[in-house]
Amino acid sequence: MVKKILFVCLGNICRSPAAEGIFKHKIKERDLENFFLVDSAGTGSWHVGNLPDRRMRATALSRGIELTSRSRQIDVNDLHEFDQILVMDKDNLEAVKSLIEDDMNSVNSKIKLILSYSKNSQLEEVPDPYYGGQNGFEKVLNLLNDAIDELIDSLIE
C-alpha cells in the first residue's frame, strides 16, 4: 500500500518544500519511490502558486536536491487524504489541528512535529529561515536531513 506523506509549514516556500524534496531524494536513492506519495502545503496562503524561496532552492541544489513544488494551502481534505502529516513547528501544529472537525477523531494521531523523529537534535521545531541569513537555510536542511532518515526508517518497518 502506498503511504501518503504531507509536510507542512507556514508559507510552503522554505521548510516544507525542502522536506518534500529531501524525502523524494532519499526514497529515490533507496529505491522506495513506489511505496510513497509525497507532498507539501502551507498553513498560510500568501505564496500560493509560487516556487520555493530562491535561497532555499539554491541551498538545496548545492546538496543535489532540486525543489520544484508550487506553494499551496492545506485544507481539511488533506487531513483525510494523507496518512502522516509532519509539521515544522508548534504554530503549524496548532493551525493544522484547528482544521479538525467533530467527526474526525482518528486524525489527531496522524499529525506530528517532524523533529520528533530526530535522534540527533534537541530542538523540537525547525526554525523559520525566512527573515534570517544563509546559515538558517543550511540549518533547516541539516535538521530535516537527519529527521527524514529516521522518518523513512519508521515508515518501512
Q: How do 36-42 and 84-87 pair as beta strands?
A: unpaired
**Residue 134 near ligand 4NP by CB under 6 A:** no
φ/ψ of residue 118, rounded to 5: -80, 130
Instruction: Verify whether residue 14 is a known catalytic residue.
Output: no
Angle between helical axes of 15-29 and 134-155 (0-180°, round to 10): 50
**Residue 12 near ligand 4NP by CB under 6 A:** yes
| Distance of closest approach, residue 10 Cβ to ligand 4NP, in angstroms | 3
Please give the residue whose beta carbon sits closest to ligand 4NP in the complex.
Answer: 11
**Residue 147 near ligand 4NP by CB under 6 A:** no
**Cell 535538521 -> residue:** 143
What is the H or E stretch that residue 87 is in? strand 84-87
What is the H or E stretch that residue 36 is in? strand 36-42
Residues 91-130 that bind ligand 4NP (CB under 6 A): 128, 130
* Active-site annotation holder among 14, 15, 39, 57: 15
Cα separation of 115 and 83, whole Å? 18
Choose the binding region for ligand 4NP from 12-20, 32-40, 105-113, 148-156 (rule: CB under 6 A): 12-20
Task: Tell which one of 46, 120, 142, 154 touches ligand 4NP (CB under 6 A).
Answer: 46
Instruction: Verify whether residue 128 is a known catalytic residue.
Output: yes
Kindly tell me which of 15 and 24 has the beta carbon lying closer to ligand 4NP.
Answer: 15
Contact 13, 42 (CB under 8 A): yes
Instruction: Verify whether residue 72 is a known catalytic residue.
Output: no
Cα separation of 108 and 13, whole Å? 25
User: Looking at the DSSP assignment, which residues form a beta bridge with residue 42?
Assistant: 9, 73
| Distance of closest approach, residue 52 Cβ to ligand 4NP, in angstroms | 8
| Distance of closest approach, residue 106 Cβ to ligand 4NP, in angstroms | 27
Give me the active site residues, please. Answer: 9, 15, 128
